[in-house]
């Protein structure tokens, strides 16, 4: 079956979601339950529209059941994220390449928040604080309480968190120590990216660069470097080739913690960082 949607009005009391979805889709009860756990089933009622994961939840008359079925999404798997630090109200994780920051209507099992929530031994909720490109790797903060999540999100919005990225690009990037700034608008919005050379590998003609951004537009680093003639290695969208994974990583986060008012600094281990060569 190809990707398709099912929208079912609840007109009778005591209906079970699994039974209704199996009747309309032709899938087995087991397949329906798996899809529910992976975030592909939603329920609309007077309280809004939310994912439905409980197979035995009572469905109120007048509600509507939604099933977004895409076998490619549901069959996808991800490399496990790695816990770097647990600060109680939030935790710091290493996001592998290919892991989504957030889900879609088709599912959320391949996202950071869902994976963390499902694998947390303390059974805490997991809230998204900021995003990182699916193709990129590196550090991500995950909130475990609504208030802490709101406070940390505000730090990102107010540019009070210092983020540093590293990337391997094609070509020789400028001279060591010289910082180049790119501020070409992206999709009509102001963007600012600062880049400096860390190391040049002559044999491969690749440069390891450090990147700081003042704004956070979609694919900002990738687009600015590509426009400057230095596409990131492995960037299939912006000219970096397809021979390897995207060589872009979020390598450090530093901020004043809103929970205990302490300075915090987290760094990606060297083994996870991109290397020229």
CATH code of residue 110: 3.30.70.580
Same domain, 98 and 35: no
Same domain, 240 and 186: yes
Last residue within a domain, chosen from 102, 129, 158: 158
Torsion of CA 54, 8, 29, 117, to 10 degrees: -30
Same domain, 204 and 224: yes
Does residue 267 sit within a domain?
A: no
pLDDT tens per residue, the chain (277 residues)? 789 999 999 999 988 999 999 999 999 999 999 999 999 999 999 999 999 999 888 899 999 999 999 999 999 999 999 999 999 999 999 999 999 998 999 999 999 999 999 999 899 999 999 999 999 999 999 999 999 999 999 999 999 999 999 999 999 998 777 899 998 898 888 999 999 999 999 999 999 999 999 888 889 999 999 999 999 999 998 888 877 899 999 999 999 999 899 999 999 999 999 988 6
Contact 151/258 with Cβ under 8 angstroms? Answer: yes
Same domain, 120 and 103: yes
Contact 54/73 with Cβ under 8 angstroms? Answer: no
For the chain, how big is the Rg over CA atoms in Å?
22
Other CB atoms closer than 10 Å to residue 138's CB: what's the count?
A: 25
**In this structure, what token pair is assigned to residue 37?**
């756990």
Does residue 260 sit within a domain?
A: no
Does residue 264 sit within a domain?
A: no
State residue 188's pLDDT score.
86
Q: d(Cα 60, Cα 208) in Å, to the nearest integer?
A: 57
Q: Which CATH number covers residue 29?
A: 3.10.290.10
CA distances from 240 to 109, 171, 210 (A): 29, 11, 17
Structurally, how many domains does the chain consist of?
3
Last residue within a domain, chosen from 115, 133, 158: 158
Containing domain of residue 14, as a range? 4-74
Same domain, 169 and 116: no
Does residue 247 sit within a domain?
A: yes
Same domain, 174 and 146: no
Same domain, 142 and 173: no
Does residue 212 sit within a domain?
A: yes
253 contact partners, CB below 8 Å, separation of at least 6? 92, 139, 141, 161, 162, 163, 264, 265, 266
Does residue 37 sit within a domain?
A: yes
Q: Which CATH number covers residue 205?
A: 3.30.2350.10
């Amino acid at each position: 079956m190809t990707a398709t949607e099912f929208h079912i009005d609840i007109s009778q009391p005591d209906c079970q979601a699994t039974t209704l979805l199996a009747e309309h889709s032709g899938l087995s009860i087991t397949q329906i339950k798996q899809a529910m756990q992976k975030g592909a089933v939603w329920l609309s009622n007077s309280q809004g529209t939310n994912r439905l994961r409980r197979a035995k939840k009572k469905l109120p008359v007048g509600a509507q059941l939604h099933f977004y079925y895409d076998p490619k999404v549901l069959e996808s798997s991800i490399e496990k994220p790695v816990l770097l630090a647990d600060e109680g109200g939030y935790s710091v994780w290493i996001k592998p390449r290919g892991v989504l920051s957030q889900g879609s209507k088709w599912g959320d099992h391949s996202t950071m928040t869902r994976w963390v929530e499902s694998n947390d031994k303390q059974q805490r909720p997991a809230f998204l604080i900021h995003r990182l490109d699916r193709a990129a790797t590196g550090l991500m903060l995950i909130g475990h309480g609504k208030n802490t999540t709101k406070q940390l999100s505000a730090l990102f919005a107010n540019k009070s968190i210092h983020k540093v990225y590293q990337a391997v690009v094609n070509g020789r990037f400028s001279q060591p120590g010289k910082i180049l700034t790119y501020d070409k608008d992206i999709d009509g919005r102001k963007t600012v990216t600062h880049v400096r050379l860390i190391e040049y590998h002559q044999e491969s003609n690749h440069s390891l660069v450090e990147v700081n951004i003042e704004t956070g537009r979609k694919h900002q680093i990738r687009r600015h470097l590509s426009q400057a003639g230095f596409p990131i290695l492995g960037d299939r969208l912006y000219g970096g080739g397809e021979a390897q994974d995207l060589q872009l990583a979020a390598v450090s986060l530093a901020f004043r913690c809103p929970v205990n008012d302490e300075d915090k600094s987290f760094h990606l281990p060297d083994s996870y960082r991109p290397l020229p060569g």
